[in-house]
Amino acid sequence: MEGTNENVFERLGAVPVINGMGFYTKLGGAIISPTVWRAMTAANEQAVEMGPLIAAGGRRIAELIGTEAARVTPGAAAAIALGVAACMTGGDGAAMERLPDTTGLRSKVVLQRAHRYRYLRMTWMTGASVVEVGDEEGTNPEDLLAALDPESVAAVFFPGHLDGIGGTVPLARVCDLARERDVPVFVDAAFLNYPPESMRRFTDAGADLVCFSAKYYYGPNGGGFIAGRKSLIDLVAQLDFTGFESGPWRVFGRPFKLDKYTVVGTVLALEEWFAMDHAVRWAGYARAVQVMADAVNGLPGVATEPMCFTMGETVERGSVNCLVVRVDPVRAKRSAAEVHRLLGEGNPRIVLHLEGDDLIIAVDAMAAGSEKVVAERLRAALGR
């Protein structure tokens, strides 16, 4: 019994779940491949200088993505804080130590108002203040340019997944405007990693910094990286925990600490992501989805459709990675909400999305083989 995942969680009094939701931090992210996991185990078994390891890993990432430089961070959220802090302090050791006190620094982060989103929080934890330009309907390029005072603005921050939403200035144009004023542009592209060759499109468009999360490419839940202009990545190195440990200043970034196996896992999972036959990956999802569909198709009041659950949490047609199960509560004599509850309370617990009469079961972060358990439990909950 010892050594199985279930038992380690249960022994500690935690509850393992079958993840039918997708890539979520609160569910521990993705499942790391056996190859990457073996490399992480090997990394655990010897000591290493963390500074040079992170630098070497960053060079490999930069080579894969096609950026000047890169650096592993403990997730994309940490990358946002470190990157903004680097733009604010520009290598001034005393300033790196003083954060979040920004006295005398360029400390504004400019954002288009319609780009407000969850992880903006990480920009202002550095002491920066967010300046919003425009309104919910969009932003005028002239207003944006007017806000870019190089004396007071540290960076323009840009959530990559919101590029092009109604009335906003698109990334390439923002980069042109920011270059006129010599202000760096920082893109959060956390999940914009597919196809892998497209991960360079943000820096190609003129962004100075971009960050990604390893949780979205089968890397460690606690991994991610920042990439872009070498001069800025070098500043991140001064500001992060390696700078604190090796340099003269008690810099801001010390709490964003990494394990050697997280660094290795973040880099090797990205290598695997680039080398992977993605057609095979999608075919595997489609098979798992079909197993679940076959288990409930034909039951009264139940209709299924293989669909794509996007990283933006919408359900669309396209490459299949989820099953939508529509439950007619009258004919099925059971509502989708009841099925959702039954699966969530049973043993093992199964977590999935509930949207009105629809259950959405994503398989991309589900352990291999668990689709059979989900199929049985769906059938038991919906059958009579």
Ligand X SMILES: *Cc1c(COP(=O)(O)O)cnc(C)c1O
Q: Which residues bind ligand X (CB under 6 A)?
A: 25, 75-77, 119, 161, 188, 190-191, 213, 215, 224
Question: Cα(162)–Cα(192) distance, rounded to whole angstroms?
Answer: 11
Taking the complex as a whole, the smallest distance from the CB of residue 24 to ligand X amounts, in Å, to 8
Taking the complex as a whole, the smallest distance from the CB of residue 25 to ligand X amounts, in Å, to 5
Q: Which is nearer to ligand X, 72 or 363 (CB)?
A: 72
Taking the complex as a whole, the smallest distance from the CB of residue 107 to ligand X amounts, in Å, to 22
Question: Cα(317)–Cα(65) distance, rounded to whole angstroms?
Answer: 28
* Cβ burial 301-335 (10 Å sphere, 16+ → b, else e): bbbbebbbbbeeeebeeebbbbbbbbbeeeebebb
Taking the complex as a whole, the smallest distance from the CB of residue 77 to ligand X amounts, in Å, to 3
Distances from the Cα of 364 to the Cαs of 113, 286, 308, 340, in angstroms? Answer: 33, 10, 10, 19
Both tokens of 274, joined, read: 């680039």
Q: Which is nearer to ligand X, 190 or 366 (CB)?
A: 190
Taking the complex as a whole, the smallest distance from the CB of residue 225 to ligand X amounts, in Å, to 9
Q: Which is nearer to ligand X, 33 or 335 (CB)?
A: 33
Question: Cα(85)–Cα(106) distance, rounded to whole angstroms?
Answer: 10
Q: Which is nearer to ligand X, 83 or 134 (CB)?
A: 83
The burial of 16, by beta-carbon neighbours within 10 Å (0-12 exposed, 13-18 middle, 19 or more buried), is given as: middle
Q: Which is nearer to ligand X, 75 or 184 (CB)?
A: 75
Q: Which is nearer to ligand X, 162 or 276 (CB)?
A: 162
Q: Which is nearer to ligand X, 187 or 325 (CB)?
A: 187
* Sign of the CA dihedral running 361, 363, 365, 366: positive
Question: Cα(67)–Cα(200) distance, rounded to whole angstroms?
Answer: 7
Strand partners, 303: 326
Taking the complex as a whole, the smallest distance from the CB of residue 178 to ligand X amounts, in Å, to 20
Taking the complex as a whole, the smallest distance from the CB of residue 224 to ligand X amounts, in Å, to 4
Instruction: Name the closest residue to ligand X (Cβ).
Output: 75
Residue 96 near residue 238 (C-beta atoms within 8 A):
yes
Question: Cα(375)–Cα(366) distance, rounded to whole angstroms?
Answer: 13
